Amino acid sequence: MERFVAATPKPRVLWVWGADDQIVSDTSLSEIGYLGKLGFVPGWPGDEVYPPQPMIAQTRAVLDRYRAAGGEYREVRFEDTGHTPYLEQPGRFMQEFLEQLGGE
């Protein structure tokens, strides 16, 4: 993360994510820390040792640090979309991608 934030030059970043993604989320049921907190992992050592990883919040925090260091990012949340926006909404994804590249 530190190398990303400190990178020069700083390319514009496009972050596309699906609002209904069950894998990358702040409450992912495939994340052991979150499952432990819910009581589904026997022997889970607790928040202080193995906290849940809020993936959306963490990604946004890194990108906000990147922006504070002079970078630029654009976040695009696709409603009614899961883990694969590029497959679930290919037209909209391509539109966002081309806009990022400076095209259409």
CA distance 102 to 104: 7
Domain that holds residue 20: 2-101
Number of domains forming the structure of the chain: 1
Which of 65, 82, 67 has the alpha carbon at shortest distance from 17?
82
In the 8-state DSSP scheme, what is residue 14? Answer: E
What confidence score (pLDDT) does residue 1 get? 85
CA distance 7 to 70: 10
Query: Model-level pTM greater than 0.85?
Result: yes
In the 8-state DSSP scheme, what is residue 8? Answer: S
Query: Could you read off the pLDDT of 5-45 as tens digits, one per residue?
Result: 999 999 999 999 999 999 999 999 999 999 999 999 999 99
Give the 3-state secondary structure of 69-84: CCCCEEEEEECCCCCC
Half-sphere exposure of 54 (CA within 13 A, CB side): 7
Asked if the model's pLDDT at residue 59 lies above 60, the reply is: yes
